[in-house]
Chains A and B, each alone.
Chain A
Amino acid sequence: MNNKYKILLVEDEQNISTLVMTMLETAGYQVIPAGTCAMAKTLFISYCPDLVILDLGLPDMDGMTFLKEVRKNSLTPIIVLSARTNERDKVLALDSGANDYVTKPFGAAELLARIRSALRNCSHSADSGKLPGGRFSVQDLEILYDARQVFIKGREIKLTQTEYNIVALLSEHCGKMMTYSAIIKGVWGYPDEGSVKKLQVNMANIRKKFGVKPGEATYITNELGVGYRMNSD
């Protein structure tokens, strides 16, 4: 009887598959490998994995098809692992329901961190990072949802309404990469021509107010051209 997290690894490249499998097994996960989309579908249904690592370029069909199919009736976290580095591909995958996107080549430490983050996020999915009383806390950052207050190291940070809405939204999806359009939809409700710019301006201000220097990525990770993620540790 084991109590390991099950990870479905969908990857056709034998070398990478072996490498990732070794990496994951060493880190204490149970790995179910699949080389094709068809196989992945069968294994997904029969094993009910806790997380899926998905390569997009598969021999029988595009990984995106599998991603969309799974998302129809399952919230299992999916991390896309792909050689496609274009922002458009990333945005497409994230908007179709992927939780995160790791580009090849990747480091072991990075992939494992993303997996931990996705699993943690899922395990208390309804109230990810949220503590009783509508409180969110990660590192030195604390959010009181009812009072709409944000603290860093116990000191209150004065945010504008929009800035607070963005921070709150990211914290509710802590650990998940949120695309520009997802954030804009959540905060402004509708996209318009300058909304990405508006979002970026707000993010720059939030970073300044948080006292984070460019390049530190302390609380929020910025993926240029794609979106933002609140770090879960």
Chain B
Amino acid sequence: MKKKRHHLWKNIMIMAAVFLVASGSSIILQKTGVYEHITAIFIFAVFLTSILTDGYIYGIVSALVGTLAVNYAYTYPFYALNFRFQGNMVSAVVMMAIAVLTGMLTTQVKTHEAIKAESEKERMRANLLRAVSHDIRTPLTTIYGASTTLLESGDNYTKEQRIKILKGIQEDSDWLVRMVENLLSITRIDEGRIKIIKTPTVLDELIDSVMVKFHKRYPQQEVHLDLPEDIIVIPMDAILIEQVIFNLLENAVLHADGMTELILKVFVLGQQVVFEVSDDGCGIEKERLSGIFNGSYHLFEDKASSADSQKHNSGIGLSVCQTIIKAHDGVIAAENNAKGGAVFRFSLNREETSESE
């Protein structure tokens, strides 16, 4: 409701501004004694108003006012309305026609664009849902199967076997938890607000929080940290950025076969802070690299390797990362290290430091 009113005012302001500029230049022209182009100026004004405002109504209003103004002030007889003079009628009709036609055209283009954006969004959502349902089914199968087995014939198994089955249940539900967290992150962005709420966050606190969560999940995996000495403040939705770093670290653990070292490096580059997660594992296949952030990676993997379905997919995690970084006006990229292994890198804008505290 408020937004609508805001739009109304914006449109009226645009209309008024264009009209004032047109009148102003007409007066100047009139003073210098050039009359013949005044109608053209108002026609142009009507055209501009129709393009810049929403719908037809503002264009038509400005055409009406323009016709009257031209007729009254700028054409013979001056400062009197006269519709008997043929030229005046013609310019009035032309202005009305331009207003209506431009209005129709721009409205059409605008709706078309909106529909296109909407369908693109729908398509992405459908892709995501498809990928998610597929990914969720695998661990659910394990959990369901394992718990049924234990309930129905648990006595037939040795204690070690039972623990193994239970561990499987635990691992897969753990994975589901993180998947749900990723999906929740997306809804945080999609929750109707285009802009996420950024709060200035101190880098050390962010890294500390991520590392606590990561150590809890992967106690065996060491991460080599390389952080700047200075205190760095970055405006961000900390929970989301935390999710991105966690996803990137976890991806390395799950997918970088043969990894011996996992590095999280953060450095400042001008106004930007660059986060870099690198490993010395198997790297990423070239064909996967291009579409790695937008789910096409997922479709590819479906065909290529049904054998390692045991190892869950990272497609969702990475497209979540991309969505989050994009919402922060940042950039995310993946590449292979020259020495072998993969590098994931994203950058965020740091807080502008006008005052030095």
Give residues in A with beta carbon < 8 Å to B. 85, 87, 105, 194, 196-198, 200-201, 203-205, 207-208, 213-217, 221-225
Contact = CB atoms under 8 A, between A and B. Distances in A.
Nearest to B237: A225
B270 to A, nearest CB: 21
B202 A214 contact: no
Nearest to A104: B177
B131 to A, nearest CB: 23
26 contacts: A85-B181, A85-B184, A87-B239, A105-B173, A197-B233, A200-B202, A200-B204, A201-B233, A203-B204, A204-B203, A204-B204, A204-B231, A207-B208, A213-B225, A214-B204, A215-B208, A215-B211, A215-B212, A215-B214, A215-B215, A215-B223, A216-B212, A221-B212, A222-B205, A222-B208, A224-B238
B267 to A, nearest CB: 15
Nearest to B239: A225
A224 B200 contact: no
A228 to B, nearest CB: 9
Given A194-B200, A225-B199, 19 more contacts: A85-B184, A105-B173, A196-B199, A197-B200, A200-B205, A203-B202, A207-B204, A215-B212, A215-B214, A215-B215, A215-B225, A216-B211, A221-B212, A222-B209, A222-B212, A224-B201, A224-B238, A224-B239, A225-B238
Given A213-B225, A215-B214, A201 B209 contact: no
A39 B57 CA distance: 61
Nearest to B203: A204
Contacts of A223: 209
A217 B212 contact: yes
B206 interface: yes
Interface in B231-274: 231, 233, 238-239, 242
Contacts of B202: 197, 200-201, 203-204
Given A197-B200, A224-B242, A105 B208 contact: no
B200 A217 contact: no
A87 B236 CA distance: 14
Contacts, number: 70
A217 B238 contact: no
- A-B pairs, top 7 by smallest CB distance, nearest first, are A215-B211, A204-B204, A200-B202, A224-B209, A214-B208, A214-B207, A197-B200
B46 to A, nearest CB: 47
A196 B200 contact: yes
A200 B202 CA distance: 6
A225 B92 CA distance: 62
B210 interface: yes
B227 interface: yes
B176 to A, nearest CB: 9
A177 to B, nearest CB: 14
A83 to B, nearest CB: 10
Contacts of A201: 202, 231, 233
B227 A214 contact: yes
A226 to B, nearest CB: 10
Contacts of B181: 85
Contacts of B201: 197, 200, 224
Contacts of A222: 205, 208-209, 212
Contact of B208 (A198, A217, A225): A217
Nearest to A87: B239
Contacts of B173: 105
A204 B239 contact: no
Contacts of B223: 215
B211 A224 contact: no
